[in-house]
Amino acid sequence: MCTETENSSEAAAFYVRNYRLRFTFKQADVSKQPKRILRGPEPRRCRFCGRGAPEVTFRDVAHAVPELIGNRRLISEYECDTCNRFFGSGIENHFGNWSKPLRLLGGRRGKNGIPTLKGSGPSGWRIERTGNRFEIIAGANEEDRPFTASEDHRVINLALTRDPYEPVAVLKTFVKMALSVMPDDEFANFGETRDWLMDAGTGGQLIQAPCAEWLVATSTPADSFTLHLLTRRPDAPDRVPYAFLMLSCGIQRFQVNIPCPAHDDLVAAEAPIRLLAFPWPDATEDVLHAAEMDLSGTELVTGETISVTYRFETVEVRENGQNP
Ligand SMILES: [Zn+2]
């Protein structure tokens, strides 16, 4: 995929002629915004395991997008408690580990607040974020710091390590978001994708088109996010994959292909597909990083670091991390 952002009007035209918007949601201001509750047909039946009461219960609040990226307002009624726990104790843990450093940098507030990163020992380094303010405590051990600062402390290079994660579990978390938000008639196209999602094993990969991620310098406001689900128009003139999930949260923008074996026969063909990157309106400037994202791996990834350079407008320096 081409991930440059220069040709945003060409990219916009590409998406308009090939895709339909099947779902869109923006959480902008949690204090004023009512919950959006996604409902399915009655009687209630779980979209993921296909079971209904009394076989399964629907007592817990099922977040259509994980709470850890800040979702408070997008809820689904067709996810049973069993499946909710299956996702929460499985793939979403991997997603949490994978996304933690950038959730910290983007100020994403999960159930337990904004994540903190810290080194080992009581006098180790520590990075915290409150609102728009970063607190970086260097710690006593100079050898063990995941950051370097310019002399005036305005430019900080961070090399943050992700907790161990399985890439395909992260991909499945994105797929689960897409399957959660799509309307019933669209969900009918994704039976094989649902089976793959629910298979706790790592085999049976679905063929996937490229995914992309961007890091931008300016974070979306705390706790806000935007999500779009696009599926191919019946009259799409270009040879393109069937479905994409677009997610904007914090300093991250994602474009994730949602595999759909029922409609993706063209993707499997040999000729390469030409895709344009989604023209995020707020990612046309200050892009720190733009790249294809490969989440196909099934082995646990440990010790992966991501490097980000920050330029701060205001910096306060305290001696040795002591509190005033
Ligand atoms: Zn279920």
Structure tokens at 256: 């994730």
Helix, strand, coil fractions of the chain, as percent rounded to 5: 25, 25, 50
Contacts of residue 74, Cβ cutoff 8 Å, sequence gap at least 6: 25, 27, 35, 36, 38, 63, 64, 65, 181, 227
Cα–Cα distance measured from residue 211 to residue 179, given in angstroms and rounded to the nearest whole number: 17
pLDDT band at 188 (very low <50, low <70, confident <90, very high): very high
For residue 209, what pLDDT is reported? 79
Cα–Cα distance measured from residue 265 to residue 27, given in angstroms and rounded to the nearest whole number: 35
Q: For ligand 1, an ion, list residues with CB under 5 A.
A: 46, 48-49, 80, 83
Is residue 286 exposed (0-12), middle (13-18) or buried (19+ Cβ within 10 Å)?
exposed
For residue 322, what pLDDT is reported? 45
Cα–Cα distance measured from residue 29 to residue 163, given in angstroms and rounded to the nearest whole number: 30
For residue 54, what pLDDT is reported? 95
Tell how far the Cα of 49 is from the centroid of ligand 1, in angstroms: 4
Tell how far the Cα of 81 is from the centroid of ligand 1, in angstroms: 7
Which of 56-65, 90-99, 248-257, 312-321 is predicted least confidently?
Answer: 312-321
Average pLDDT over residues 212-220: 82
Tell how far the Cα of 246 is from the centroid of ligand 1, in angstroms: 25
For residue 1, what pLDDT is reported? 60
Q: Which of 89, 54, 61 is closest to 76 using CA atoms?
A: 61
**Residue 323 pLDDT greater than 50, yes or no:** no
Average pLDDT over residues 151-165: 90
Number of helices (H) and strands (E), helices first, in the chain?
Answer: 7, 15
Q: Which of the 8 DSSP states describes residue 2? A: B
For residue 198, what pLDDT is reported? 94
**Residue 135 pLDDT greater than 50, yes or no:** yes
For residue 2, what pLDDT is reported? 55
Which spans in the chain are helix H?
8-18, 81-88, 91-105, 167-181, 184-187, 191-198, 265-268
Cα–Cα distance measured from residue 36 to residue 42, given in angstroms and rounded to the nearest whole number: 18
Tell how far the Cα of 73 is from the centroid of ligand 1, in angstroms: 21
Tell how far the Cα of 303 is from the centroid of ligand 1, in angstroms: 34
Tell how far the Cα of 274 is from the centroid of ligand 1, in angstroms: 37
pLDDT band at 316 (very low <50, low <70, confident <90, very high): confident
Tell how far the Cα of 180 is from the centroid of ligand 1, in angstroms: 12
47 or 285, greater pLDDT: 47
144 or 204, greater pLDDT: 144
For residue 105, what pLDDT is reported? 84
For residue 284, what pLDDT is reported? 58
pLDDT band at 17 (very low <50, low <70, confident <90, very high): very high
